[in-house]
Structure 1
Amino acid sequence: MKILKVYVRLVVLAGFLAAGWLPMHAQEPREIVRVAMQAELNADLNDHSHWRYRDAESDGTDKVSIVVETGHGSVKRLIGRNGRPLSEAEARVEDERVKTFIHDPAQLAKQKKDGQQDGKNAEELLRMLPDAFTWKMQSDDGENITLNFEPNPKFSPPDMQGRVLGQMAGKLVVNKGQNRIVTISGKLTQDVTIGWGLLGRLRGGGTFRVERREVTPKLWQITETHVHIEGKVLFFKSIGQQQDEMQTDFMQMPDGITLEQAAEMSKSLTATLK
């Protein structure tokens, strides 16, 4: 009878673990990562929200833009460069560019295709997280759990993205209440070469950090991206090897907003979000 009770408890425990219901402090580090991975995949599948935000990026040139998302694409309006707002003449040129963009099926299709590819890349990397590294608990402050990771020598990367990912070491911060990833940061532990270095090389010591925040209840967004990797190849099409980007002033957009409305909104908000 006691054996039966123990067996039942183990079955129930396994069921909670698989569903992500087991309290995080009771889970193994790798299982915490698996639960967080699944939470992110589920959120991406079910979150259809659109946002307006201020985007400040530096990749050799400092630029500030207003981005307004819609179901048909995102309108991104440049409002400042190198610490100063656009001149009247520059603003007129940018206004014409935005008008051309929202009425150009080819540009809209390219933006959609690039976004889908970025999403596919991100999902692929997310699915690799549990097995690409060895995981250790660093701390638990009651709200977040911080895990350290190092390359897993048993990991067999399926592609170039996996090779780069698998040579990173760093930390992952997971929100305990929602199992969502708050921070992931890492450093490339050694050079990664393509074709024995003839086709490309990423130099060891390069770093990355991504910060995410709950901008409204249950909805999370990337708020900071920092990539500083020296080399000759890119492993994200939309992310440069030297990039710092901060996204602030999030406001959720209503369903059904059109590209024309988004373009007008980005223009009207230019003065307030500089």
Structure 2
Amino acid sequence: MMRATIPWLLAACVIGSSAAQIQAQDARAFVERAVQNELAKDAADHTRWLYYEDDRKPESPVKQWVADTANGSLKRILQLDGHRLSQSEQLDRLNRFLGDTSAQAKARKSSSHDDAQATEMLQMLPKAFIWTKTGEQGDNTILHFKPDPNFRPPDLEARVFAAMEGDMAVDTRQLRIASLKGKMIQDVKIMGGLLGELNAGGMFDVERRETGDGIWQITETHVHINGHALIFKTISEQEDDIKTHFKQLPQSITMQQAKNELMQAPEGTVALR
């Protein structure tokens, strides 16, 4: 009787294992489609936006209006390091930036680097993690991810990202990523810990929403990661960045026109409620 039962138990285990593998493959394929769709949509998106940003970095918190143009972003800083700027100070900063081509080039380079890094992380999603569909939530498909031990991160940023476990929400109809939340489940050592270490427990949370017809933007970014480098230097990525009050601008808007839009915006968001 026992000998007759064992083959059936083994068969059930094999079938169960195969079913889990198929589910994981289906989830990864779904993530791959979402990533490819995001990359295609981003490449085709040439819209320009005005928005209010509350960027809460401990070392330099800032509240500002931001206007996108083909030549980069223009910022009207309302509050810096807890100090509210007068309108004349705001205008002076805008004019100085408009007259400084090297500052504009530096800002564009920084923005381009951030975009490239975001693209790299996006492309990593299907490869760096083991994915499981965990359910539906409204219009979203919810997926859980954990590090894939077979993945080899190409750089330090990728190593940090690949040490995360968390959940992703994808708008099922539009196949757009609505949120991505992760927590570091293991330390990340730089050169075996000789040059530094990022501590387990760090987290990130990125929220996105549709701001226009088929146009999605990041509206919230929360990053809290700690560690140390070269024994004495603290590594700290602490930021809570919230973007609201999106308004679409003309695609061909110039820097000067963007300046006018910025100066017409209210001192804060209270007037827009």
| The two structures share one fold, judged by TM-score above 0.5 | yes
Q: Counterpart of 2:70?
A: 71
Give the letter for the 2:98 counterpart. Answer: I
Q: Distance in 2 between matches of 1:83 and 1:146?
A: 38
| Per-residue deviation, 1:200 | 2.3
Q: Counterpart of 1:14?
A: none
Q: Counterpart of 1:96?
A: 92
Whether the 8 Å CA contact 1:139–1:146 is kept in 2: the answer is yes
| Per-residue deviation, 1:82 | 6.6
Q: 1:107 aligns with which of 85, 103, 108?
A: 103
Give the letter for the 1:135 counterpart. Answer: W
| Per-residue deviation, 1:160 | 1.3
Q: Distance in 1 between matches of 2:112 and 2:79?
A: 28
Give the letter for the 1:38 counterpart. Answer: Q
Alignment of 1:228-243 (within 5 A): 228-232=224-228, 241-243=237-239
- Deviation per CA, 1:50-102: give whole Å up to 9, x if none: 10000011111542100011111111111135777x253xx323321210111
Q: 1:120 aligns with which of 116, 121, 137?
A: 116
Q: Counterpart of 2:20?
A: none
Identity of aligned residues (%): 39
Q: 1:42 aligns with which of 40, 43, 55?
A: 40
Judged with a 3 Å threshold, the aligned counterparts in structure 2 of structure 1 residues 101 and 232 are, in CA distance, closer, same or farther, namely: farther
Whether the 8 Å CA contact 2:46–2:251 is kept in 1: the answer is no
Q: Counterpart of 2:204?
A: 208
Give the letter for the 2:115 counterpart. Answer: G
Judged with a 3 Å threshold, the aligned counterparts in structure 2 of structure 1 residues 87 and 67 are, in CA distance, closer, same or farther, namely: closer
| Per-residue deviation, 1:158 | 1.4
Q: Counterpart of 2:51?
A: 53
| Per-residue deviation, 1:199 | 1.9
Give the letter for the 1:50 counterpart. Answer: R
Whether the 8 Å CA contact 1:49–1:253 is kept in 2: the answer is yes
Q: Counterpart of 1:132?
A: 128
TM-score, length of structure 1 as denominator length: 0.82
Whether the 8 Å CA contact 1:79–1:270 is kept in 2: the answer is no
Judged with a 3 Å threshold, the aligned counterparts in structure 2 of structure 1 residues 249 and 205 are, in CA distance, closer, same or farther, namely: same
The structure with the largest alpha-carbon Rg is 2
Judged with a 3 Å threshold, the aligned counterparts in structure 2 of structure 1 residues 73 and 87 are, in CA distance, closer, same or farther, namely: closer
TM-score, length of structure 2 as denominator length: 0.83
| Per-residue deviation, 1:41 | 0.4
Q: Counterpart of 1:268?
A: 264
Judged with a 3 Å threshold, the aligned counterparts in structure 2 of structure 1 residues 192 and 46 are, in CA distance, closer, same or farther, namely: same
- Deviation per CA, 1:145-188: give whole Å up to 9, x if none: 00001111111111112211111000010001111000001001
Q: Counterpart of 1:156?
A: 152
Note the residue ranges of structure 1 that are not aligned, 5 or more in a row.
1-24, 234-239
| Per-residue deviation, 1:232 | 3.7
Q: Distance in 1 between matches of 2:225 and 2:31?
A: 25
Alignment of 1:245-260 (within 5 A): 245-260=241-256
| Per-residue deviation, 1:198 | 2.4
Give the letter for the 1:129 counterpart. Answer: L
Note the residue ranges of structure 2 that are not aligned, 5 or more in a row.
1-22, 230-235
Compare 129-138 and 73-82 and name the one that shifted more: 73-82
| Per-residue deviation, 1:217 | 1.4
Whether the 8 Å CA contact 2:167–2:181 is kept in 1: the answer is yes
Q: Counterpart of 2:174?
A: 178
- For the residue of structure 2 that corresponds to 1:196, the secondary structure is helix
Q: Counterpart of 2:142?
A: 146
Q: Distance in 1 between matches of 2:205 and 2:218?
A: 11
Judged with a 3 Å threshold, the aligned counterparts in structure 2 of structure 1 residues 104 and 246 are, in CA distance, closer, same or farther, namely: same
| Per-residue deviation, 1:247 | 0.3
Judged with a 3 Å threshold, the aligned counterparts in structure 2 of structure 1 residues 82 and 113 are, in CA distance, closer, same or farther, namely: closer
